[in-house]
Amino acid sequence: MAYIQLEPLNEGFLSRISDLLLCRWTCRHCCQKCYESSCCQSSEDEVEILGPFPAQTPPWLLASRSSDKDGDSVHTASEVPLTPRTNSPDRRCSSSDTSKSTYSLTRRISSLESRRPSSPLIDIKPIEFGVLSAKKEPIQPSVLRRTYTPDDYFRKFEPHLYSLDSNSDDVDFLTDAEILSKYQLGMLHFSTQYDLLHNHLTVRVIEARDLPPPISHDGARQDMAHSNPYVKICLLPDQKNSKQTGVKRKTQKPVFEERYTFEIPFLEAQRRTLLLTVLDFDKFSRHCVIGKVSVPLCEVDLVKGGHWWKALIPSTQNEVELGELLLSLNYLPSAGRLNVDVIRAKQLLQTDVSQGSDPFVKIQLVHGLKLVKTKKTSFLRGTIDPFYNESFSFKVPQEELENASLVFTVFGHNMKSSNDFIGRIVIGQYSSGPSESNHWRRMLNAHRTAVEQWHSLRSRAECDRVSPASLEVT
């Protein structure tokens, strides 16, 4: 085996090789001969960056470059730069050509390094998808455009985002002092605690203060200087099973000190929201809502309990609920009898300041637009959740049943003056609402079977507006 003796490499060649490797420049056309830079006349467009630049050229490299330039200018025939031995004739170059090409490469590198970019230059050509053919056509993805009409624009409009509802999210970011100064509706003191042993939630309504003066919506209120406040308590979203405190007469700083219990599992209680609504009682006009406080029970420690002073905020519910009535209807075609059961009522509007209400129900049969028969239940003292369980029967032939209407009116018994109106509904030919019509239709389809249903009481004006039968009774 023959060995080729290599000549010792001088320091100038090592500096040029290290200069090339550190800067990592190469020519696009011939990367095989670029260590000599003698293949072609490179320009700035022919230089490609293969890697990041060093942050700063090392001082020893700059010194090596200056020494190389000086050495090239005084180069003699005895100083022949050494190149690796190779059998290929393309690798054989003179010392003068190598020196000149190395110097030109160093000069181009220095000039490009002065305007070195901040990030590597990457030559990326657009990728064309599709079948290769003689005539290339760029394929662009089609954009599906939909034409919008004015109706589509307004359909996306959400009015509740622009409403001035006091229940909006901005109230959640205000402190109680800011709410009190903004609305000036007063504050309410209450407490909550859950009993794990008996599985019930206790809500204690303690007192209120700084309530605003009363407001009369219909001009029938007599005392405009003092309020008659009371508090209604419920666990949202269930507003049917609510509780109600007594009425405190002529005061803006009422003290209630009343406790109410809700039979509810602990996990279900954590999903509820406690709602306390402060109302103003007035016997001669409709009750008005002063303000409300809502507390999500998931945000409080129910087992440990606690009490709070909360500022009242306005309520969107201006109309006070009049209560609910549970009725059962049954018709016997063979006997021609219409049977009515008045079972119970709950959360009736309070008509007496001192003892709640003494409610009773009046049932009146109207045939067409003529009052035929009137019956009524007994009155129960001092309650707004009465249990009656009383039955009444009316003689109605089957051919006259389609023209019959039943008017149910709830009154508060008053021995000194006329009875206080609480609420009314009409079931039959001239029903006062969809719920009443549905109950009557179910009774007609279920022969000899009693049909029960809860009904929300309506005001006298509302019933008179939609039902002619309501105008025929007192």
Of 278, 192, 269, the C-alpha closest to 229 is: 278
Q: Which of 454, 457, 453, 386 is nearest to 424 (CA)?
A: 457
With a cut of 70, say whether residue 365 has pLDDT above it: yes
CA–CA dist 184, 169 (Å, integer): 19
In the chain, the percentage of residues whose pLDDT exceeds 70 is 58
Say whether pLDDT at 105 is over 90: no
Residues 301-320, mean pLDDT to the nearest whole number: 84
Least confident of 45-54, 152-161, 223-232: 45-54
Would you call 420 helix, strand, or coil by DSSP?
Answer: strand
For residues 257-263, average pLDDT = 93
For residue 108, the model assigns a pLDDT of 60
Answer yes or no: is pLDDT of 107 > 50. Answer: yes
Q: What is the mean pLDDT of residues 338-351?
A: 88
Strands ordered across the beta sheet of 238-244: 238-244, 229-236, 273-280, 288-296
Per-residue confidence (pLDDT) for residue 50, from 0 to 100 = 47
Least confident of 178-192, 297-311, 414-428, 438-452: 414-428
For the chain, report the end-to-end CA distance as a whole number of angstroms: 132
CA distance 6 to 13: 14
- With a cut of 60, say whether residue 228 has pLDDT above it: yes
Name the band, by pLDDT with cuts 50, 70 and 90, for residue 255.
Answer: very high
pLDDT grade for 322, boundaries at 50, 70 and 90 = confident
Q: What is the pLDDT of residue 426?
A: 95
Asked whether residue 406 carries a pLDDT value surpassing 90, the answer given is yes
Share of the chain above pLDDT 90, in %: 35
pLDDT, greater one: 319 or 382:
382
- Mean pLDDT over 310-315 rounds to 89
Least confident of 181-195, 219-233, 303-317, 436-450: 219-233
Return the pLDDT at 57: 57
Tell me, what's the pLDDT at 149?
57
Q: pLDDT for 26-47, tens place per residue?
A: 554 555 445 444 454 444 444 4
- SS3 (DSSP) at 23: helix
Pairing of strands 25-27, 451-456: unpaired
Rounded to the nearest 10 degrees, the angle between the axes of helix 11-23 and helix 59-73 is 130
User: What 3-state DSSP class applies to 71?
Assistant: helix
Nearest in space to 286 (alpha carbons), one of 212, 220, 383: 220
Q: What rounded mean pLDDT belongs to the chain?
A: 75
Name the pLDDT band for 74 (thresholds 50, 70, 90).
very low
Q: What is the mean pLDDT of residues 61-76?
A: 54
pLDDT-wise least confident of 121-130, 231-240, 415-424, 432-441: 121-130
Q: Tell me 160's DSSP state.
A: G
* Of 301 and 159, more confident: 301
**Structure token pair of residue 203:** 């809500």
CA–CA separation, 246 and 73 (whole Å): 113
Confidence category of residue 242, pLDDT binned at 50, 70, 90: confident
- What is the Cα–Cα distance from 140 to 225, expressed in whole angstroms? 77
Who wins on pLDDT, 161 or 259? 259
- Check whether 309 has a pLDDT greater than 90: yes
- Report pLDDT digits (tens) over 197-214: 999 999 999 999 999 887
* pTM of the predicted structure, to 2 decimals: 0.51
How much is the pLDDT for 414? Answer: 79
Confidence of residue 380 (pLDDT cuts 50, 70, 90): confident
pLDDT reported for residue 198: 92
Q: Is pLDDT at 48 greater than 90 in this prediction?
A: no
DSSP string, 168-228: SGGGGGS-HHHHHHHH---EEEEEEEEETTTTEEEEEEEEEESPPPP--SSS--S--S---
Give me the pLDDT at residue 19, please. Answer: 58
Query: Which of 228-242, 275-289, 324-338 is predicted most confidently?
Result: 324-338
Task: Write down the pLDDT at residue 42.
Answer: 46
What value does the mean pLDDT take over residues 462-474? 89
Higher pLDDT, 1 or 77: 1
Between CA 439 and CA 450 the distance in angstroms is 11
What's the one-letter identity of residue 24?
R
More confident residue, 171 or 216: 171
Mean per-residue pLDDT, 442-449: 87
Mean pLDDT across 387-393: 94
* pLDDT tens-place string over residues 270-298: 999 999 999 888 766 667 889 999 999 99
